[in-house]
Amino acid sequence: MQLYLPIADLPVNVFLVLAMGAAVGFVSGMFGIGGGFLMTPLLIFIGITPAVAVASVASHIAASSFSGALSYWRRRAIDPALASVLLCGGVTGTTLGVWTFTQLRALGQLDLMIALSYVVLLSTVGSLMFSEGLRALMRTRRGALPSRRTHNWIHGLPLKMRFKRSKIYLSVIPVVVVGIMIGFIGAIMGIGGGFILVPIMIYLLRVPTSTVIGTSMVLTLVTMLFATMLHAVTNHLVDAVLALILMVGGVTGAQFGARAGQKIRGEQLRLLLGLLILSVGVRFAIELVIRPEDLFTIRELGVSG
Amino acid sequence: MTRTLLIIVLVLLLGGAARAERLIVSVSNHRVTVTPNYSGEELVLFGSVERDATTPADRTAYDLVVTVMGPRADMVTRRKERTFGIWINTDYRQFLQVPSYLALFANRPFDAITSPEIARRQQIGINNVLLTQRVGGDYADVVPNDAFRSAFIRLRTQRGLYREDAGAVTFLTPTLFRTGIPLPAEVPIGTYEVEIKLFANGAFIGKTETAFEIVKVGFEQFVATTARQNGLIYGLATAAMALMTGWMASIVFRKD
């Protein structure tokens, strides 16, 4: 069934987009991530311009993280204090990100920047995660206990605050900085940033695993809602029809993914996720290096008269 | 209004004995509605060349050039170049107020209809249509084989938005003619101007104009218009939709 996407200005097959939403939803449910870093490239791949893809995926991630956040809230696995401090940074970062997005688009370098950010970020995070997963797997094979430092330089920073539910005593500075960073890259790349945020919170901020995913989902939810609003107001690029199809596919797929994820061991899961992230990064890198089919592109600056 | 009157007066004055033919044309549909499942359409333009007593008796063979121009827009053409091993948009040209749809039809090859000089002046053939570019601080059209201009035309042609067909106009009788105007699926909405120019023995002897309108209807168009005009409300609605979907999913799939 063909459907015309009003903002993307493109007819697409509804079932194809639904299936894509479900597939990404499955993966995101399995790994407990938003899946934006997979969804945006897939949309670009089927011919939707990177700008529309980034803006529309934001609302799709908002939907999936809201359903996740609700269930974590019921299980009391969200730290409200930590979430609000993260959000202060997140909202600032998103605003900066959408502003940068608009500037890059005017300069004609947006597509390049999106691709470059994907290459750099995904290959870094992907290889880190992959090697970490590999090491963890070896350790369990050898039966050794993972070494764990209890404090690092971050815990020496001033402006400390007590986060009751997470049972940690931590400076707000790194928390806000992390929020800004995630908000910024999320707005530019059309990702929720969960796959970067969760490791940072665990390894750097030492947030306990009981509250880490729920709290990161709150940040994702709010920054993505905010990004949707800003993209809609400043760039008019959010395709609501596309977003709705993705959401329906995504939330359904996530349920099955979550069930599948419980059957796999943590280290293997991280290994798989690392591999997946890495391959998306490599895919973008190849695209940048090979000669494009057409060297020229046209962009309409708006019809007048 | 005054301009129209002036044109009529001018046509009457200039017309006289030598330009006695009148062109009468009509398009099959003056208002095309594009629905969500619209996949392109073809309009038909009909017309006839009316002769009167002052028309020279030996003038029987006519040539016609039909130009269809869609709503005008500013466009940017960018060129990628290899820099540090990756392909980057480097150079660009801005095209100012160029037609978003452009079609030129004739009954035989443009160069057989008239001289290159008249063709240039009357903008006959896609290479002669004025496409203003901003080059630095200047506004000018460039030579037809300019890289940006030809890439621009090539890309528009690939999308079916620019076309040139020197065999599309058919004469049913020596004075009665018709031509089809194909409109692709992604046709821009707005007012389309149609200009019909009449030639005889290589000389330009008159023209007439008509227009049609393309409007989009349906839910998709409503969404697109809202997104552009009420960005804030649209954003709020999309955000609310996201929350609703997420909330419904958490209810439907609730395990406890």
**Using CA atoms, how far apart are residues A83 and A85, in angstroms rounded to an integer?**
6
Q: How many CA atoms lie within 13 A of A244 on its CB side?
A: 13
Residue type, A145: L
Query: To the nearest whole number, what is the mean pLDDT of chain B?
Result: 82
pLDDT, one tens digit per residue, over A252-261 is: 888 788 777 7
Instruction: Judge: A233–B250 Cβ closer than 8 Å, yes or no.
Output: no
Q: Classify A43 in phi/psi space as left (phi over 0), alpha (psi -120 to 50) or beta.
A: alpha
pLDDT, one tens digit per residue, over A2-38 is: 777 877 777 788 899 899 888 888 888 777 777 888 8
- Shortest CA gap B151–chain A (Å): 7
Q: Is the pLDDT of residue B155 over 70?
A: yes
pLDDT for B194: 93
pLDDT, one tens digit per residue, over A151-184 is: 566 666 777 777 777 777 778 888 889 899 988 9
Is-contact A240 B234, C-beta < 8 A? Answer: yes
Q: Which of A268-272, A283-287, B88-92, B166-170 has the highest mean pLDDT?
A: B166-170
Q: Name the residue with higher pLDDT: A221 or A292.
A: A221
B35 contacts chain A (CB < 8 A): no
Instruction: Judge: B234–A238 Cβ closer than 8 Å, yes or no.
Output: yes
Instruction: Judge: A303–B71 Cβ closer than 8 Å, yes or no.
Output: yes
What's the rounded mean pLDDT across residues A119-139? 84
pLDDT for B212: 92
Band of residue A303 on the pLDDT scale cut at 50, 70, 90: very low
Residue type, B140: A
Is-contact A52 A8, C-beta < 8 A? Answer: yes
Instruction: Provide the 3-class DSSP secondary structure of residue B116.
Output: helix
Band of residue A301 on the pLDDT scale cut at 50, 70, 90: low
Which neighbouring-strand residues pair with B165?
Answer: B105
Interface test with chain A among B250, B252, B256, by most A beta carbons within 10 Å: B250
Tell me whether strands B138-140 and A2-5 are parallel, antiparallel or unpaired.
unpaired
Interfacial B residues in 89-118 facing A (CB < 8 Å): 89, 92, 94, 97, 100
pLDDT, one tens digit per residue, over B163-206 is: 999 888 999 988 899 999 998 877 888 899 999 999 888 888 88
B80 contacts chain A (CB < 8 A): yes
**Using CA atoms, how far apart are residues A20 and A26, in angstroms rounded to an integer?**
10
Token digits for B206? 């008159």
How many percent of chain B have pLDDT more than 70? 90
Band of residue A213 on the pLDDT scale cut at 50, 70, 90: confident
Which neighbouring-strand residues pair with B47?
Answer: B25, B177
Q: Is the pLDDT of residue B256 over 70?
A: no
Instruction: Judge: A6–B188 Cβ closer than 8 Å, yes or no.
Output: no
Residues of B in contact with A303 (CB under 8 A): 71-73, 100, 188, 190
Q: Is the pLDDT of residue B240 over 80?
A: yes
Q: Which 8-state DSSP code applies to residue B187?
A: P
pLDDT, one tens digit per residue, over A59-107 is: 888 888 888 888 888 888 788 888 888 899 999 998 998 899 888 888 7
Band of residue B7 on the pLDDT scale cut at 50, 70, 90: low
Token digits for A76? 């009391």
pLDDT for B162: 92
pLDDT for A217: 85
What's the rounded mean pLDDT across residues B239-253? 86
Residues of B in contact with A228 (CB under 8 A): 235, 238-239, 242
Query: To the nearest whole number, what is the mean pLDDT of chain A?
Result: 82
B240 contacts chain A (CB < 8 A): no
**Using CA atoms, how far apart are residues B196 and B206, in angstroms rounded to an integer?**
9
Residues of A in contact with B89 (CB under 8 A): 108-109, 111-112, 297
**Using CA atoms, how far apart are residues A210 and A140, in angstroms rounded to an integer?**
22
Instruction: Judge: A301–B75 Cβ closer than 8 Å, yes or no.
Output: yes
Is-contact A9 B186, C-beta < 8 A? Answer: yes
**Worst-scoring range by mean pLDDT, A127-131, A270-274, B1-5, B144-148?**
B1-5
**Using CA atoms, how far apart are residues A161 and A171, in angstroms rounded to an integer?**
6
**Per-residue DSSP letters for chain A?**
-EEEETTTTEEEEHHHHHHHHHHHHHHHHHHTS--HHHHHHHHHHTT--HHHHHHHHHHHHHHHHHHHHHHHHHTT---HHHHHHHHHHHHHHHHHHHHHHHHHHHHT-HHHHHHHHHHHHHHHHHHHHHHHHHHHHHHHHHTPPPP--S--GGGG-SSEEEETTTTEEEEHHHHHHHHHHHHHHHHHHT---HHHHHHHHHHTS---HHHHHHHHHHHHHHHHHHHHHHIIIII----HHHHHHHHHHHHHHHHHHHHHHTTS-HHHHHHHHHHHHHHHHHHHHHHHHSPPS-SEEEEEEEE--
Instruction: Judge: B71–A305 Cβ closer than 8 Å, yes or no.
Output: yes
- Residue length of chain A: 305
Burial group, residue B179, by CB count within 10 angstroms (0-12, 13-18, 19+): buried
Q: How many CA atoms lie within 13 A of A295 on its CB side?
A: 14
Taking Cα atoms as reference points, which of A91, A81, A242 lies closest to residue A172?
Answer: A81
For residue B255, the chain A residue with the least C-alpha distance is: A71
